Amino acid sequence: MLEQSSQVKWPFNEGSANLARAVAGLAAGNAVFPAATDTAVLSSAEMLPVLPALAGLLPGGGLGRGSVVAVEQPGLLGLALLAEASAAGGWCGVAGVPDLGVVAAAGMRAEASRLMLVPEPGPNWAQVVASMLEACEVVLVRPPEPPSAPVRRRLEGVLRRGGGVLIAAGAWDGAPVRLRVTQRSWAGIGDGYGRLRGCRAEVVAEGRGAAARPRRQWLWLPGPDGSVTVDETAAARSAAPAWATGGVDPQAGAALAQLTPALAGVAQ
Amino acid sequence: MSPGRPARILAVWCPDWPEETADRQDARAFEPVVAAVTGFCPVVEVVRPGLCVLNARGPARYFGGEEALASKIVAAVAARGVGGHVGVADGQFAAALAARAAAPDHAAMVVPLGGTRAFLAPYPVHILAAPAPAGLTSSWLALAGQLVRLGIRTVGDFAALPSRDVASRFGAAGSAAQRIARGAEGRRPATGTVPADLSVSMEFDPPVPAEPVVFAAKNLADQLLAGLAARGLSCVRIRVEVTPAPDPARFGSAAPDRAAPDRTTARLWRHDGLLSALAIAQRVRWQLDGTQASAGQEGQGDREADGTTAAEGGIARLRLVPDQLIRAEGQQLALWGDDLVRDRVERAAVRLQAMLGHESVTHPMLAGGRGPGDRVVLVPFGDVREARRPAGRPWPAGIPPPAPATVYPAPIPARVIDASGAPVTVSGRAVVSASPDALAVEAGGAGGAGRTGGTSGAGPWLAITAWAGPWPVTERWWDSGQASRRARFQLVTGDGIGWLAAVEQSRWQIEARYD
């Protein structure tokens, strides 16, 4: 335990990774130290936790510290990526997303009180993101313009030093992992009746290195209660289900029967 | 101290301070007297500038009796160049009176133990209004007036009244006044001192631009923190006062100091014992940047003529004042846990707020409401606010879960048409004119890659594959400013995106997006 802790710098200004490593090292070596503090939950030195449904898509089963994860849009997928880290006690920052659906994030167990929002970071957004990365484990950013190579390099340097994770919405050349939704279809809504209950979405992860081989996963994004889970039924179905092109999911027919007939009547 | 033993109080009264006009300046000027008295007894209560009291029993034993102590204190005060008189008696009121009685013939007057009642007896009864607790002087004066009308003219007469009758006729205030009249005042001197002036300042002659000021601020902050630490104090906030150089072109060079109005800018910065000297210097820089920016904007019109600005004039004086002194209890950072993390986050937030403005860094608070935008309140980081619409209450006709991932701060105009190309409308009875067939969202907010700039215009038509609604909502009809009457729809377009749309006064808007 002593050698472990002697390697660890006192983490006042060193960012969260060292803190988490210090906790991990000490907790592993000495059971006296409580492992149940907020940060200790994030004790895995190299990975931040993600929702179990997303673990299969990411190399290593989590968000690699110091790395960039690119998503097409900051929508539900971006929020889902940071939800579990937030639920585990981490701080999450969101920059450049004035239309963030905080309630949706909270529905995936993200803790709203540990969110730091900068809706309009302005032209100096890279500096803002760098500052946020010093405080937050995960930062979701939608850059106002496609980031230039020097800006990307600078932020990647900040990431490597601090050990945070940057979720970049939009183009980010050279991101080790890129996630995108290829198809989605909503269940529970018909032609004038029902309501949006859940969305089956196929998420594809591509990238470099460990993520070079594309991985696909059908997810409930979101499920009926706002959570994100693996769509178990998709594996049993054929590769391209008929409903996936849009329209009403026939499997949701049972659910439709429960829906309010009065509203459907009004609509007609 | 046992109840039977009256308090022996020593009062130091300096006639140089008029009783009525006590203010902070007087308090500062009185400080040398207090310091001299503190040499004899560390616990000195400053009643007001010009009068301080201490418990005489202990020091009197040490310095060889009350007379000796009194004469020593008079000498010590005189050594500071202040005329002071000392009185010793049972109780603070009598001691102050004894000090006044000593003046001007004698330096000190000691009322012997148990002789206080006799000492007070000849005084007119009105004098009892003086020791009234703060805010009760008028009622005690009224009490004295009643006593005079009852024929009780001296303190001695009042003291001689049976205490039970006084209590039943005059209540608690009468009893307290009678205890004082009998020389049995219960109150002990309170500890504490007038805080010394811990502010630090630096004059710049000739005035200098901002950069050296920030440099000097670091040194000043070091001094300030050292001064605080030497007294075991910390402060909640720091006031930074920046005085720009007087503008010679405007006020003339004859008497610039007299003519120039005070253009000092002061701003309070939160400290909480957390800021290092460097961090304070940084806040000075922020303040200088801020004031120069605003001076540049405000002064543009009227200063163009002489071609100078406050920034060019330089800064003549910088002063750091600790605000709200508190006892320094040390900042023990939590070993590992929320406090340390929180601290780190707050520092980052403060830095961002300095860069972007206080309102630009927020943290969300969940609230209650029907619309998707109502359910979150963005609170500037560092502020504490109560939710006006608390979450966790039933909100009938609210948007059912799952919640949309994109909630537009302001709804985006849209158009919805039916199969024939006519706009879809909703009647007052919530009947849809036709099945919606296609949706066009105004570009700018809902384009594929997010914000596409300031250009706004109708986006492409998206085929609607599924829809539900309308769900009429009438909110706050009692408040004409906030009333809204709308019908909400959920739409799914061909690309699999869900939309939360609302029709209000035949206008379609997109409130949120399920993506």
β partners of residue B52 = B12, B46
Highest-scoring range by mean pLDDT, B36-50, B126-140, B287-301, B497-511? B497-511
For residue A117, the distance in angstroms to the closest alpha carbon of chain B comes to: 5
The residues near B37 (Cβ < 8 Å, ≥ 6 apart) are: B12, B44, B52, B54, B73, B76, B77
B412: nearest Cα among B443, B367, B453, B389: B443
Mean pLDDT of chain B: 78
Return d(Cα B182, Cα B174) in angstroms, integer: 12
Q: Give backbone dihedrals phi and psi of B136, rounded to 5 degrees, phi first.
A: -110, 10
pLDDT value for B334:
43
Q: Do A248 and B514 count as a contact with CB atoms less than 8 A apart?
A: no
B411-436 pLDDT tens trace: 999 999 999 999 999 988 889 999 99
Q: In terms of pLDDT, which residue wins out, B374 or B357?
A: B374
Q: Do B402 and A267 count as a contact with CB atoms less than 8 A apart?
A: no
pLDDT value for A245:
42
Res. B347: pLDDT tops 60: yes
Q: Do A194 and B347 count as a contact with CB atoms less than 8 A apart?
A: no
Helix (H) or strand (E) holding B406: strand B406-418
User: Tokens at residue B415, please?
Assistant: 């158009």
A to B CB pairs, distance under 8 Å: 205
pLDDT value for B280:
83
Confidence of residue B136 (pLDDT cuts 50, 70, 90): low
Task: Give pTM, 2 decimals.
Answer: 0.54
Q: Where are the alpha helices (DSSP H) in B331-466?
A: 338-356
pLDDT value for A254:
45
B493: nearest Cα among B444, B459, B451, B453: B459
pLDDT value for B466:
93
- Torsion, Cα of B65, B70, B73, B75 (10° steps): -110
B153-167 pLDDT tens trace: 888 989 999 988 888
β partners of residue A203 = A181, A217
Tally of CB atoms within 10 A around B217: 27
Confidence of residue B172 (pLDDT cuts 50, 70, 90): confident
Q: In terms of pLDDT, which residue wins out, B11 or A258?
A: B11
Could you give the percent of chain B with pLDDT greater than 90? 13
**Could you give the C-alpha distances from B341 to A40, A67, B345, in angstroms and in order?**
11, 21, 6
pLDDT value for B386:
67
pLDDT value for B45:
76
Q: Do B363 and A196 count as a contact with CB atoms less than 8 A apart?
A: no
B95: nearest Cα among B49, B56, B48: B56
Quick check: B117 contacting A, CB < 8 Å?
A: no
pLDDT value for A235:
60
Q: Give backbone dihedrals phi and psi of A140, rounded to 5 degrees, phi first.
A: -100, 125
Sign of the alpha-carbon dihedral angle for B272, B275, B276, B278:
negative
Q: Is A212 helix (H, G, I), strand (E, B) or coil?
A: coil
Res. B464: pLDDT tops 90: yes
Domain ranges of chain A: 2-42, 47-177, 179-261
Using a CB-CB cut-off of 8 Å, the residues of chain B touching A75 are 405-406, 513, 515
What stretches in chain A show pLDDT beneath 50?
A: 1-43, 238-268
B288-305 pLDDT tens trace: 877 666 555 544 444 333
Structural domains of chain B in order of their starting residue, each with its CATH number:
8-181 (3.30.70.270), 200-247+262-296+311-327 (3.30.1490.100), 332-398 (no CATH), 406-514 (no CATH)
Verify cis geometry, omega within 30 degrees of 0, for the bond prior to B206: yes
Which of A76, A134, A185 lies nearest to residue B515, judging by beta carbons?
A76
The residues near A172 (Cβ < 8 Å, ≥ 6 apart) are: A68, A70, A147, A152, A178
Confidence of residue B245 (pLDDT cuts 50, 70, 90): confident
Q: In terms of pLDDT, which residue wins out, B248 or B255?
A: B248
Highest-scoring range by mean pLDDT, B366-380, B432-446, B501-515? B501-515
| CATH class in words for A47-177 | alpha beta
pLDDT value for B247:
63
For residue A27, the distance in angstroms to the closest alpha carbon of chain B comes to: 11
- In chain A, DSSP assigns E strands to 47-48, 63-64, 68-71, 92-95, 115-118, 138-141, 165-169, 177-189, 194-207, 215-220, 229-230
Whether the CB-CB separation of B405 and A104 falls below 8 Å is answered with: yes
Return d(Cα A38, Cα B296) in angstroms, integer: 47
Q: Which of residues 8-67 of B touch A (CB under 8 A)?
A: none
- What would the DSSP string read from start to end of B40-62? T-S-EEEEETTEEEEE-HHHHHH
Q: Which of residues 444-483 of B touch A (CB under 8 A)?
A: 445, 448-451, 465-471
For residue B350, the distance in angstroms to the closest alpha carbon of chain A comes to: 10
Q: What is the largest distance, in Å, between two alpha-carbon atoms of chain B?
A: 111
Q: Which of residues 390-419 of B touch A (CB under 8 A)?
A: 400-409
Res. B200: pLDDT tops 70: yes
**Could you give the C-alpha distances from A180 to A7, A69, B67, B284, in angstroms and in order?**
39, 11, 92, 47
pLDDT value for B328:
66
Res. B445: pLDDT tops 60: no
Q: Give backbone dihedrals phi and psi of B339, rounded to 5 degrees, phi first.
A: -65, -45
Interface test with chain B among A103, A134, A158, A259, by most B beta carbons within 10 Å? A103
Judged by average pLDDT, the poorest of A121-135, B61-75, B357-371 is B357-371
Q: Is ipTM strictly over 0.90? A: no
Residue listed under structure tokens 């009438």: B474
Quick check: B389 contacting A, CB < 8 Å?
A: no
